[in-house]
Amino acid sequence: MRVPAAAALVVCALAVACAPAPPPESPSDLRVMTWNVLTARYDPADWIGTIAAWRPAVVGLQEICAGEAVALADELRRDRGLPYVAVPGPVRPTPAEDVAPVNAELRHPCHDGAVVSYGLAVLTLLPVTSATTGLYAPDHRDEQRGYQRLTLRAPDGTPLTLYNTHLGLNGVALGQIRDLATRAGAEPAPTVVVGDLNEPQGADPAATAPLRDRFGEVDPDGNLPTSPNDPGNPAAPAREKIDYLFFRGLVSVVPPAVPWVPASDHRPVIGTLGPGR
């Protein structure tokens, strides 16, 4: 059952996690967030408080409808004075893909009629110079998955490549991690990779090795679990880390945060990155 937005905001107001985050320590620092927002149960009005509190320069979102990403950016600009631009990256954009057996269990998470525009999105305060969405090879064990690739202009004026992804279940994530690592690892630095990998850190160290061999990670020891998040109970602990923030050509300059949130079954990962030294 969906939690009403008003109730979520009341809970959020009582939680330390929703207090405004401190500003970056340097103008060249880059705050990045990745968050699986569980659109089937929540709406933009439920997510706006968390994003406005932390004010990341870049937000990689998973399990979101294209129209909701645009609405979320609109509300942040209108109600919070934060000039976010939405870059939707649906991985199910056509009726044919919607009815394919690989997607059958997902049904219709978006209120967009016959054409389902569901999957990924990026919100950014940084200028966007290019944006594409790619699909991983279909696998009968799970729904279609994909990734976004954006080129942004970082605060210091240099190009920044961002990958935002949501990987599969039932064993399909392993091949997708290798694919993602090959693509992202070939990019000129600096590069950031964010998303829900559906692969618990520590369960199989070899699973994320293709990314770890090429990238640093803001929580390399897996001390900050992200799932499950209990939207109604800030004191309930998360147990597994399946959401990640990788980087290359940059350094982590502030300890990461994984705050409780009132509007998802995942906690966001928030890292602050600076130019490589």
Residue 26 in domain: no
Q: For 185-239, how does the pLDDT look when each residue is reduced to its tens digit (9 = 90+)?
A: 999 989 999 999 999 998 888 999 999 999 999 999 999 999 999 999 999 999 9
Q: For the whole model, what pTM was predicted?
A: 0.91
Number of domains in the chain: 1
Q: Which two tokens stand for residue 147?
A: 């990734």
Q: For 44-95, how does the pLDDT look when each residue is reduced to its tens digit (9 = 90+)?
A: 999 999 999 999 999 999 999 999 999 999 999 999 999 999 999 999 877 7
Residue 84 in domain: yes
Residue 25 in domain: no
Residue 130 in domain: yes
How many whole angstroms separate alpha carbon 236 and alpha carbon 251?
31
Q: For 4-43, how does the pLDDT look when each residue is reduced to its tens digit (9 = 90+)?
A: 444 444 444 444 445 556 666 677 899 999 999 999 889 9
Which pLDDT does position 12 carry in this prediction?
Answer: 46
| Nearest CA among 232, 238, 244, 233 for reference residue 207 | 244
Sheet containing strand 191-196, edge to edge, reads: 128-135, 146-153, 159-166, 191-196, 243-248, 216-217
CATH number of the domain at 159, please. 3.60.10.10
CA dihedral 31, 32, 38, 44 (to 10 degrees): 50
Q: For 174-184, how does the pLDDT look when each residue is reduced to its tens digit (9 = 90+)?
A: 999 999 999 99
Which pLDDT does position 93 carry in this prediction?
Answer: 73
Which pLDDT does position 40 carry in this prediction?
Answer: 82
For the beta carbon of residue 93, count every other beta carbon within 10 angstroms: 18
Burial 218-230 (b: 16+ CB within 10 A, else e): bbeeeebbbbbbe
> What is the pLDDT confidence band of residue 173, given thresholds at 50, 70 and 90?
very high
| Host domain of residue 220 | 5-20+31-275
